[in-house]
């Protein structure tokens, strides 16, 4: 049962509301652009590394498995996970950090809030409204994080960030599945790129145990298969832990309604204490060994300079943007002044793919590039 949509619509004959949300998300232009947006490695660095789109599909697969085991709504889970990164900038978290710095005087930039902005406002596909007019529950799940300042500007979606309460179980699941996916697959991509070494992973609690198990069961296994088996088992182990821990939580708390779930001060869907410890150890390791690796860091710094220069050029002269984005800037500036102009520029830059941002930078700053 859904709380409905901001703009009432007739129900579809053959699809429930969350299936319609899923279909609207898949057909959105912002969803297609995820194919050429960075996860960790810039899109052109290799064909086999994860992109924001393949990451999204992997999150969806993990989340649906857990949703089915816990008897949650799979359609709602799918819709949330497919939309959760629609507002991400080019160049991954480096692009987000740069755009947030550029927007410091104008409300900042949060990619979760931008994902909500994409589905509420920026997608323009329907004759009767802007955005995709998604259900309340899907929109709730998309908004994984939100600052208190921005939460105050939202409708009822912002209340939980002010009251320290929780979203629905499907939203909690999307959040956790995201972490399982990016930790596991960043290990795989980091090893593939030669930035991580198996010897370093052996010193970690969870990965050390799993590597030892695979080697014990398959003494003659080659390196590539060893990595695949370990990453596969890593996902399965975390998924099993989430299902078992959450099942125990649900039996103990016995929520009678979604309101009981939302009234909790802590998520009901979570890792066990032991797995949480292993999870945090891995996150700390990846931050230092992979995300701060000099090759990744160097590219991230170049990405930040690219975003910063684009933002400066477009805010100084919005006419440098394509006509529809220039018109968007004029409309927002008419109501919100400089902050409106800056937000329109952020909308344009956040919607870029990696390669489009690189090409725009080339067009603006290389005198040899004429168009």
Residue matched to tokens 């819709």: 79
Average pLDDT of the chain is 92
At residue 266, φ and ψ (nearest 5 deg) are -125, 150
Structure confidence at residue 41 (pLDDT): 55
Could you tell me the pLDDT band of residue 95, with boundaries at 50, 70 and 90?
Answer: very high
Q: List the chain domain ranges.
A: 17-296, 300-365
When pLDDT is averaged across residues 343-364 and rounded to a whole number, the result is 95
Residues 10-62 pLDDT 10s: 888 899 999 999 999 999 999 999 998 877 655 445 455 778 899 999 999 99
Burial environment of residue 298 by CB neighbours within 10 A (0 to 12, 13 to 18, 19 or more): exposed
235 neighbors 62 (Cβ within 8 angstroms): yes
The angle, 0 to 180 degrees and rounded to 10, between the axes of the packed helices 205-217 and 273-286 is 100
Residues 72-83 pLDDT 10s: 999 999 999 999
Which pTM was predicted? 0.93
CA 258 vs CA 3, 64, 223, 278: distances in Å: 11, 19, 46, 30
Q: How many CB atoms lie within 10 A of CB 91?
A: 27
Query: Residue 307: which residues within 8 A CB-CB, separation 6 or more?
Result: 89, 90, 91, 94, 95, 98, 99, 102, 349, 357
pLDDT at 148 over 60: yes
Quickly list DSSP for 112-142.
Answer: HHHHHHIIIII----SS-SS---BHHHHHHH
Residues 207-254 pLDDT 10s: 999 999 999 999 999 999 999 999 999 999 999 999 999 999 999 999
42 neighbors 97 (Cβ within 8 angstroms): no
Q: How far apart are the first and last CA of the chain?
A: 51
Structure confidence at residue 324 (pLDDT): 95
What is the dihedral sign for C-alpha 89, 94, 97, 102? negative
Q: Which CATH number fits domain 17-296: 1.10.3210.10, 3.40.50.880, 1.20.1250.20, 3.40.630.10?
A: 1.10.3210.10
């Amino acid at each position: 049962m859904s709380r409905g949509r901001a703009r009432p619509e007739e129900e579809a004959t053959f699809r429930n509301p969350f299936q319609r949300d899923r279909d609207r998300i898949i057909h959105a232009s912002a969803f297609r652009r995820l194919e050429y947006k960075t996860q960790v490695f810039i899109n052109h660095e290799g064909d086999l590394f994860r992109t924001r789109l393949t990451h999204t599909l992997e999150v969806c697969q993990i989340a649906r498995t857990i949703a089915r085991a816990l008897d949650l709504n799979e359609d709602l889970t799918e819709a949330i996970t497919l939309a959760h990164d629609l507002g991400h900038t080019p160049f991954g978290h480096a692009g987000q950090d740069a755009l947030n710095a550029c927007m410091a005087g104008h409300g900042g930039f949060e990619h979760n809030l931008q994902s909500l902005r994409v589905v509420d406002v920026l997608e323009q596909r329907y004759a009767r409204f802007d955005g995709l007019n998604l259900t309340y529950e899907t929109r709730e799940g998309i908004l994984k994080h939100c600052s208190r300042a921005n939460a105050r500007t939202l409708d009822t979606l912002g209340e939980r960030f002010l009251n320290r309460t929780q979203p629905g179980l499907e939203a909690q699941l999307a959040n956790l599945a995201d972490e399982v996916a990016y930790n596991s697959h960043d290990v795989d991509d980091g090893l593939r790129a030669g930035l991580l070494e198996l010897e370093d992973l052996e010193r970690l609690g969870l990965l050390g145990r799993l590597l030892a198990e695979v080697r014990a069961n398959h003494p003659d296994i080659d390196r590539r298969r060893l990595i695949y088996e370990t990453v596969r088992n890593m996902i399965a182990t975390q998924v099993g832990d989430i299902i078992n821990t959450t099942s125990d939580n649900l039996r103990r708390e016995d929520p009678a309604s979604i309101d009981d779930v939302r009234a909790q001060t802590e998520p009901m869907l979570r890792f066990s204490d032991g797995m949480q410890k292993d999870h945090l150890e891995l996150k700390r390791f990846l931050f230092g060994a992979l995300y701060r690796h000099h090759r990744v860091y160097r590219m991230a710094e170049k990405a930040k300079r690219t975003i910063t220069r684009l933002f400066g050029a477009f805010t100084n002269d919005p006419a440098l943007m394509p006509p529809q984005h220039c018109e968007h800037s004029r409309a927002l500036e008419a109501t919100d002044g400089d902050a409106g102009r800056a937000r329109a520029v952020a909308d344009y830059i956040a919607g870029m793919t990696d390669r489009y941002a690189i090409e725009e930078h080339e067009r603006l700053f290389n005198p040899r590039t004429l168009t």
